[in-house]
């Protein structure tokens, strides 16, 4: 079960010509591309399913790029490149402080921008493979371990898969059925209440390693989400 749309780039740009140029270059480099032109459409789209990266224009109708970036960073660590014609240093710093990963000024080289997208996607994929994902948590797929800083969590294999899924999309609410689908290859003798038991154990182990860190939240009637 893939929790992130692999190599799908979300282009948020209201200039039709620039958007078309980006879409063409990204597709030529084997990315799938989705285009939005209004800032208010971005957060619902990312909550539904996170892309591999976002190219986000600063000046947008509905909600400007900085507000969109700020809203996204409340629940997602998706890589963001901000795109703007405003080149003064204050805007540049503010954009990065709001959580953007990179900043490109217009006019720009499409080839350079695609290269930056590739670098961000590789870095994000590296985090999934074993670097810090969110909130100081480090997932090591090869060793099937999760660490908080330098403290390891003594997780069972099912607990490891469950926590990894939650960490993969901070802020996203997963139903118990979705979590079962993600962590169990075999559904024999497994009920959705088993997830509650696993979550209880994971919370206890996290609290032992980092007292007071309440990062797995229950969503009444639905399931759970990870909030770093």
- Mark whether 125 and 139 lie in a shared domain: no
What pLDDT, on a 0 to 100 scale, did the predictor assign at position 94? 57
Instruction: Give the global pTM.
Output: 0.55
Distance in angstroms (rounded) separating the CA atoms of residues 10 and 57: 11
> What is the Cβ-side half-sphere exposure of residue 148, based on CA atoms within 13 angstroms?
20
118 and 85 within one domain: yes
CATH code of the domain covering residue 211? 1.10.10.10
Report the CATH number at residue 32: 3.40.50.2300
Query: How confident is the model over 125-145, as pLDDT tens digits?
Result: 655 444 445 567 877 766 677
Q: What is the pLDDT of residues 214-223, one digit of tens each?
A: 899 999 888 9
What is the distance, to the nearest Å, from the Cα of residue 211 to the centroid of all Cα atoms in its chain?
A: 25
Q: Per the domain annotation, does 1 fall within a domain?
A: no
What local confidence, expressed as pLDDT, does residue 106 receive? 83
Can you give the residue range of the structural domain that contains 34? 8-129
| Residues lower than pLDDT 70 in the chain | 1-6, 87-97, 124-135, 141-143, 149-150, 183-192
What is the torsion angle, in degrees rounded to the nearest 10, for the CA atoms of residue 216, residue 167, residue 143 and residue 179? 80
CB neighbours of 210 closer than 8 A, spacing ≥ 6?
A: 136, 148, 149, 151
Sign of the torsion formed by the C-alpha atoms of 181, 166, 142 and 131: positive
Q: How many domains does the chain have?
A: 2
Question: Which of 111, 129, 147 is where one domain is finished?
Answer: 129
User: Residues 111, 12: one domain?
Assistant: yes
State the CB neighbour count (10 A cutoff) for residue 125.
Answer: 14
Cis previous bond, 107, omega within 30: yes
């Amino acid at each position: 079960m893939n929790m992130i749309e692999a190599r799908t780039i979300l282009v948020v740009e209201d200039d039709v010509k620039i958007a078309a140029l980006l879409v063409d270059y990204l597709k030529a480099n084997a990315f799938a591309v989705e285009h939005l032109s209004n800032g208010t459409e971005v957060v619902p789209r990312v909550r539904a399913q996170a892309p591999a990266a976002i190219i986000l224009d600063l000046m947008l109708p509905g909600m400007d790029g900085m507000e969109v970036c700020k809203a996204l960073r409340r629940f997602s660590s998706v890589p963001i490149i901000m795109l703007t014609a405003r080149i003064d240093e204050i805007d540049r710093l503010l954009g990065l402080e709001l959580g953007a990963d990179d900043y490109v000024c217009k006019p720009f080289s499409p080839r350079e921008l695609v290269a930056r997208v590739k670098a961000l996607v590789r870095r994000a994929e590296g985090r999934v493979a074993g670097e810090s994902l969110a909130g100081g948590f480090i997932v090591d797929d090869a060793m099937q371990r999760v660490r908080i800083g330098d403290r390891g969590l003594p997780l069972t294999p099912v607990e490891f898969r469950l926590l990894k899924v939650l960490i993969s999309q901070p802020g996203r609410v997963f139903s118990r059925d979705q979590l079962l689908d993600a962590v169990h290859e075999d559904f024999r003798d497994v009920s959705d209440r088993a997830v509650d038991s696993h979550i209880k154990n994971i919370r206890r182990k996290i609290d032992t390693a980092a007292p007071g860190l309440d990062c797995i939240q229950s969503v009444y009637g639905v399931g759970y989400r990870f909030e770093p």
